[in-house]
Amino acid sequence: MPYTRHMLETRRVVAIINQKGGVGKTTTTANLGAALARAGVRTCLVDLDPQAHLSLHLGVRPGPDDPTVYDMLLDESVTAIDAAVEVEPGLDLIPAETDLAAAETDLATIPDKQSRLRRMLEKSGDRWGAILIDCPPSLGVLTINALGAATEVFVPMQAHFLALQGVGKLLETVGLVCAGVNPSLQVSGIVLCMHETQTTLAREVVEDLQAFLESSSTQDVPWRTCRVLSPPIRRNIKLAESPSFGQSIFAYDPTCRGASDYAALAESVIAMWRSPASEVEVKVDATSSQGADSIG
Ligand SMILES: Nc1ncnc2c1ncn2[C@@H]1O[C@H](COP(=O)(O)OP(=O)(O)O)[C@@H](O)[C@H]1O
Ligand SMILES: [Mg+2]
């Protein structure tokens, strides 16, 4: 399948955020990314969580001399393209190691510490049609870098009791941060993870969420265009197994429900990105062809 950077008019940089752990951020980054790549969008994943779960999930353990996201953030001479490793056709990963935890303090001395990631990703030109950033479950300087680099935010969540309260708080925090570092940033989608389609509780939480988003659509807030992305990702044991094998769900078991849910999610994300209403500001620089034709 050809990897057509022209399929999307604009390059999308998505920060995948929720301050709660265990809600499906890493699983969504890995498998939505793999699904986008399979649908023809050349995609780069950035592991911005010092736990390095995304890198482990995709079977990448950087050796002592391999550049990681830490090097890219702190060493001007290491580019995103240098640090990226191809994990599947059309899917690259900028990996992390646990030394990324030190970046919180090491970045402190750098003047552009909040916009470092943005600048380094901008230098990669139009190599990737989509970049997904897996964020840590905290609002430190790494997450602020992700919000500074992103064109939009996806929030994975579980439809649990009190989940809506957490999401409301998260959206407010994102709103405050973006007013400072990235005023055009939009929260564009909620991804329902480990979804229990049959339970009344999940249905009620989703209804409340829809009503909340509906009421925000007329307000001047960064989540006014936010929608619940479809389909929800159902709970599927294969999604929990695949990280142990260092594989995306498509490499591990392409016929399972987890794979079909993430493939359908990628289709609806691409459709949202191609609809004129969702056009965002960052235009791909059409004059740069850096690396655009090679996939391996
Ligand atoms: N749809 C799903 N079905 C079953 N297990 C899932 C699903 N999504 C995530 N998991 C599992 O739930 C745990 C938490 O998910 P993870 O993506 O690591 O969350 P986060 O990155 O937000 O901490 C992991 O063990 C993961 O394998
Ligand atoms: Mg994670």
Determine the atom of ligand 1 nearest the C-alpha atom of 241.
27
Q: Can you tell me which residue has the tokens 């399979």?
A: 38
User: Is the CB–ligand 1 distance for residue 1 below 6 Å?
Assistant: no
The answer, yes or no, to whether any atom of ligand 1 lies below 6 A from the CB of 23, is: yes
For residue 284, the model assigns a pLDDT of 37
Q: In terms of C-beta density within 10 A (0-12 exposed, 13-18 middle, 19 or more buried), how is residue 41 classed?
A: buried
pLDDT for position 279: 47
**In the prediction, which pLDDT does 287 show?**
37
pLDDT at 95 over 70: yes
Residue 277 CB-density burial (10 A; 0-12 exposed, 13-18 middle, 19+ buried): exposed
Res 225: pLDDT: 94
Residue 163: the pLDDT is: 86
Check residue 37 and give its pLDDT.
98
Whether the pLDDT of residue 35 is over 50: the answer is yes
Task: Report whether residue 17 contacts ligand 1, using a CB cutoff of 6 Å.
Answer: no
pLDDT tens per residue across span 240-264: 999 999 999 999 999 999 999 999 9
Supply angle C-alpha 132, 123, 248, rounded to 5. Answer: 25
pLDDT at 278: 55
DSSP bridge pairs for 222: none
Tens digits of residue pLDDT in 109-124: 888 899 999 999 999 9
Residue ranges of alpha helices (H) inside 109-199 are 116-122, 141-149, 163-181
Residue partners of 173: CB distance under 8 A and separation at least 6: 19, 139
Q: Are 258 and 239 in contact (CB under 8 A)?
A: yes
Q: Do the Cβ atoms of 71 and 83 come closer than 8 Å? A: yes
Q: How far is C-alpha 263 from the chain's CA centre?
A: 15
Number of neighbours of residue 141 by Cβ within 10 angstroms: 21
Q: Please indicate whether residue 26, judged by its CB atom, sits closer than 6 Å to ligand 1.
A: yes
Which atom of ligand 1 is nearest to 30's Cα?
17
User: 285: which DSSP letter?
Assistant: -
Cβ of 89 less than 6 Å from ligand 1:
no
pLDDT of residue 67 exceeding 70: yes
Kindly indicate the confidence band of residue 49, based on its pLDDT and cuts at 50, 70 and 90: very high
User: Which pLDDT score is estimated for 6?
Assistant: 46
Q: What average pLDDT does range 195-221 have in this prediction?
A: 93
pLDDT per residue as tens digits for the range 7-21:
677 899 999 999 999
Least confident of 38-47, 65-74, 107-116: 107-116
Q: Which residues surround ligand 2, an ion (CB under 5 A)?
A: 25-26, 53
Half-sphere exposure (Cβ direction) of 165: Cα atoms closer than 13 Å = 3
User: Residues 36-54: what's their mean pLDDT?
Assistant: 97
The DSSP code sequence of 219-277 is SSSTTTT-EE-SS--B--HHHHHGGGGT--HHHH-TTSHHHHHHHHHHHHHHHHHHSGG
Protein residue closest via CA to atom 6 of ligand 1: 240
Q: How far is the CA of 197 from the centre of ligand 1 (A)?
A: 17
Domains along the chain with CATH numbers: 5-153+232-278 (3.40.50.300)
Label residue 124 left, alpha or beta by phi (over 0 means left) and psi (-120 to 50 means alpha). alpha
- Residue 73 has a pLDDT of 96
Four-CA torsion 101, 105, 106, 110, nearest 10 degrees: 130
Ligand number, closest to the Cα atom of 154: 1
